[in-house]
Amino acid sequence: MPNLSGKVAIVTGAGRGIGRAHALALAEAGAKVVVNDLGGTLAGEGADLSPAQQVVEEIAAAGGEAVADGENVADFDAADRLVRHALGAFGRLDILVNNAGILRDRMLVNMTEDEWDAVVAVHLKGHFGPTRHAAAHWRERSKSGEQVRARVINTSSPSGLFGNVGQANYGAAKAGIAAFTIIAAQELARYGVTVNCLAPNARTRMTEETFEMGAAPEDFDPLDPANISPVVVALCADEAQAITGQCFHVWGGAVNALQGWQAGELFEANRRWDADELIDALRERFPEGAAPAGMLIGMQASGGRSLRAQ
């Protein structure tokens, strides 16, 4: 395992599920961890510091060092306090894992404005705020002459990258997080910061509520949240300094470095297209039509399977 001793990490939404597994793994690798979690319901209501505190206790019991933080990552000023908490408690910050998330699934025609706003706020703005404040800290250190080796690891989703019915709010935020990752990677490279993202699959309260997944198998469970964390620890190693702007789909032991939007079918004319001619050209090139294949096809092509119990 890479040795992360001397490094300080923030993991958002680390009181449960995948974030908890990341916090435990980073602490095991030697990092000091700020365990952030608002502690609300899956829909993002309420607040409770005890999930974060429990993870801090687990880390301490295993001989690691951690502090609990109850800030709401969707609040820009709270995200600043979160970064300051890490600096105050441990004197530095090296790793930011943006992981906190909520769900308010609904078909688009029935979705309320609140359902849209809440989900986009926690995921998309909840990635921007902590990253923005951490980046300011790293820029300052870089400008003072230090050779910074810092990490941001974001959390996208197969839902956003491949498109899952019933999750227009969540999927749009998660696709936004993938785009945010690519742009942040390009902007922050000059300060020594790499920015990557994950498209995880795991058995947590989030998926158990949505997918009726059935019980975990007795041998290797590909949906154990702890399967995602080695990717985080690997990306945090100093040796991963040249790997940035990537999005990793993770299903059990299958880690797929995805390729996002890229050049596809080119329709080229040496003048402005006539719309009639263009629709003819589209129908000729796509005789069966052109439509998204859906999330399961994308997941399977990436080494995953259906999240629904078969």
Ligand X SMILES: NC(=O)c1ccc[n+]([C@@H]2O[C@H](COP(=O)([O-])OP(=O)(O)OC[C@H]3O[C@@H](n4cnc5c(N)ncnc54)[C@H](O)[C@@H]3O)[C@@H](O)[C@H]2O)c1
Contact residues for ligand X (CB under 6 A)?
A: 12-13, 15-19, 36-40, 42, 44, 51, 72-74, 99-102, 122, 126, 155, 157, 200-202, 204-207
Q: Which residue is nearest to ligand X (CB)?
A: 17
End-to-end CA distance of the chain: 35
Residue 111 contacts residue 166 (beta carbons within 8 Å): no
Q: Which of 178, 157, 202 shows the shortest CA–CA distance to 22? A: 202
Based on CB atoms, which residue is closest to ligand X, 191 or 248? 248
Q: Minimum Å distance from CB 6 to ligand X?
A: 26
Question: Which residue out of 7, 125, 174, 302 is catalytically annotated?
Answer: 174
Active site residue 170: yes
Based on CB atoms, which residue is closest to ligand X, 28 or 75? 75
Question: Which residue out of 32, 125, 157, 159 is catalytically annotated?
Answer: 157
Strand pairing of 254-257 and 247-251?
antiparallel
Based on CB atoms, which residue is closest to ligand X, 52 or 191? 52
For residue 84, the tally of other CB atoms under 10 A from its CB is: 14
Cα(55)–Cα(177) distance, rounded to whole angstroms? 26
Q: Minimum Å distance from CB 125 to ligand X?
A: 9
Based on CB atoms, which residue is closest to ligand X, 41 or 186? 41
Bridge partners of 86? none
Cα(234)–Cα(25) distance, rounded to whole angstroms? 11
Question: Which residue out of 7, 32, 156, 170 is catalytically annotated?
Answer: 170
The residue ranges of DSSP E strands in 20-86, in sequence order, are 32-36, 66-69
The arrangement of strands across the sheet holding 247-251 comes to 66-69, 32-36, 8-11, 95-97, 150-155, 193-199, 247-251, 254-257
Q: Minimum Å distance from CB 145 to ligand X?
A: 34
Q: Minimum Å distance from CB 234 to ligand X?
A: 18
Cα(298)–Cα(279) distance, rounded to whole angstroms? 27
Based on CB atoms, which residue is closest to ligand X, 191 or 299? 299
Active site residue 157: yes
Please name the amino acid found at residue 121: A
Q: Which two tokens stand for residue 309?
A: 């119990």
Q: Minimum Å distance from CB 55 to ligand X?
A: 9
- The residues that are catalytic are 157, 170, 174
